[in-house]
Structure 1
Amino acid sequence: MNEIAARYRVRADIFAAKIAAVRPGRWSNPSPCEEWTAKDVVGHIVDMHGAMLGPLGRSLSRAPSVEEDPLAAFASARADIEALLDDPATAASEVATPAGRLSVEQHIDQVVSADMVVHGWDLARATGQDDTIDPAEIVAIWPGVQQIPDEMRIPGAFGPGIVVFGPEVEVLHDAPLQHRVLGLLGRDPHWSA
């Protein structure tokens, strides 16, 4: 298994554990993502898995909806992505993406795999779970989040209804690195429902 596939699996395991830990009655809780509930966060991640399949002319396999069973919906979407990553020819093939031409595995790594890290924090905050992000992930994310272009913070810049990053949330310069990363990603590290 290559590094990208291994990283995806670790992130998916963590995200799945957060889904499984949501207590009954908490799925409708608001999340740090404006206008999204906890269940909407999972729906977004499942939808983004489908977006990774689109450039290949594929779609998600039939599965329960996020509304019916968030964990089963995620598990099915995850299986679809792992099938791509497990096929060396498909994983290495190039596709057109909003960021230009990328290999399928690069596209997955830069979009949905990375999304699970931050949206895992959103889901944890929304549902009262431990929201600590793996410190190695925070260190890896830090250089990139310091360089987010302003246009990626403009609602609708990449299409109607698409918001990539919210406005930067100011945090103290000596705050924990996780807080500084979250602030640059448009999240208030002290947000609560």
Structure 2
Amino acid sequence: MTTAAAEHRTVAGGFTDRVRGVAPDGWDAPAPVAGWAARDVVRHLVEWFPGFLKAGSGIDLPHGPSADEDPVAAWTVHSDGVQALLDDPATAGRTLTNPHLGELPLDIAIDRFYTSDVFMHTWDLARATGQDEKLDPVRCAALLEGMLPMDEVLRASGQYGPRVEVPDDADVQTRLLAFIGRTPDGSSGQPPGRVRSVRRSKRCRAACGVPSPSPNAIACQVSPRLRDRSSSPASSASSSARTRGIRVSAAVRSTSSTGSSPCSGSAEPAASDITSDTAS
């Protein structure tokens, strides 16, 4: 069985390759999320997860420069910190506690709510910067398998846009992207050229600056790769908590503000709503 540390090393390594492949003048290129530039994809990952980790486990990740100052260094410092945490033997005995998720082994929580998000956003950064957009089909299939049974709940959460219709014989990556509301051609609804980074806007604070998991991460709740460990007493005890968390997510739709969700292109909840959600 693949460990959370090994999975992160592989997935984050793919994202790192794209980060290093961005041309110096490419960080302001439009991303496939309306209103986002390429640097905002990095910003999202380096800003939402540290708060979630700190709130649930008391662990502080190293902080690099901002995504505005140096997105390559921002990602490198952050990603290296997550990998070091997963490689630490002591992590196996640690847990993460969240009022909506219950208590989970720390490595499973990181894999479930963070590593999957890195995987999905690899496509966003690649599309924004003209790089290799190919995602691992096995991982795509596992994520899609986990999300399909929760279609109605995910739409109701307000975190995902309408499912995009694609041919039945489309490859699994296309079907996964379409499921989360990405258009097949990766269009973001914004004109070509440069866009202003969201910087410290309300949208970025809502998307990244609160201790709440990312929306793509919901799929990993049934990840086959860690299913054996997820059936352990600690993980089983958290199952009902995760279910309650999904219901909280669905309730957000009644108070969501309009805008573009960073992970799905759907209506984005206000910052106050995301803090009580299972996903951001």
User: Normalized against structure 2, the TM-score is what?
Assistant: 0.61
Query: Which has more radius of gyration?
Result: 2
After alignment, is 63-72 or 46-55 more displaced?
Answer: 46-55
Q: Deviations over 1:126-177 (max 9, x none)?
A: 11111111122222222112123434335xx5xxxxx643322221222121
The answer to whether 1:170 aligns with 2:170 is: no
Match of 2:47 in 1: 47
> 1:179: Cα distance to partner?
0.7
Q: Which runs of 5+ in 1 are unaligned?
A: 158-162
Q: Which residues of 2 match residues 60-99 of structure 1 at below 5 A?
A: 60-97=61-98, 98-99=100-101
> 1:62: Cα distance to partner?
3.2
> 1:108: Cα distance to partner?
0.8
Q: Which residues of 2 match residues 113-132 of structure 1 at below 5 A?
A: 113-132=115-134
Q: What is the one-letter code of the residue matched to 1:165?
A: Y
SS of 1:101's partner is strand
Match of 1:14 in 2: 14
CA RMSD of aligned residues (A): 2.0
> 1:52: Cα distance to partner?
4.4
CA gap of 1:60–1:94, structure 2 versus 1, over 3 A, is: closer
- CA distance in structure 2 between the partners assigned to 1:184 and 1:86 by the alignment: 33
CA gap of 1:35–1:133, structure 2 versus 1, over 3 A, is: same
- CA distance in structure 1 between the partners assigned to 2:108 and 2:85 by the alignment: 12
Contact 2:96 2:106 in 1 (8 A): yes
Q: Which runs of 5+ in 2 are unaligned?
A: 193-280
Q: What is the one-letter code of the residue matched to 2:169?
A: D
> 1:51: Cα distance to partner?
3.4
Q: Deviations over 1:4-50 (max 9, x none)?
A: 10010011111011011011222112211222211101101112331
User: Normalized against structure 1, the TM-score is what?
Assistant: 0.86
Q: Using CA pairs under 8 Å that are at least 6 residues apart, name the structure with larger relative contact order, 1 or 2.
A: 2
- CA distance in structure 2 between the partners assigned to 1:96 and 1:150 by the alignment: 27
- Count of matched residue positions in the alignment of Structure 1 and Structure 2: 185
Q: What is the one-letter code of the residue matched to 1:40?
A: D
Q: Deviations over 1:54-75 (max 9, x none)?
A: 2122333232111111111111
Report % sequence identity. Answer: 38
Match of 1:137 in 2: 139
> 1:117: Cα distance to partner?
1.1
SS of 1:85's partner is helix
After alignment, is 166-175 or 71-80 more displaced?
Answer: 166-175
Residue of structure 2 aligned with 1:180, choices 171, 175, 185: 175
CA gap of 1:139–1:74, structure 2 versus 1, over 3 A, is: same
Match of 2:28 in 1: 28
Q: Deviations over 1:50-101 (max 9, x none)?
A: 1342212233323211111111111111122122212233344222234332
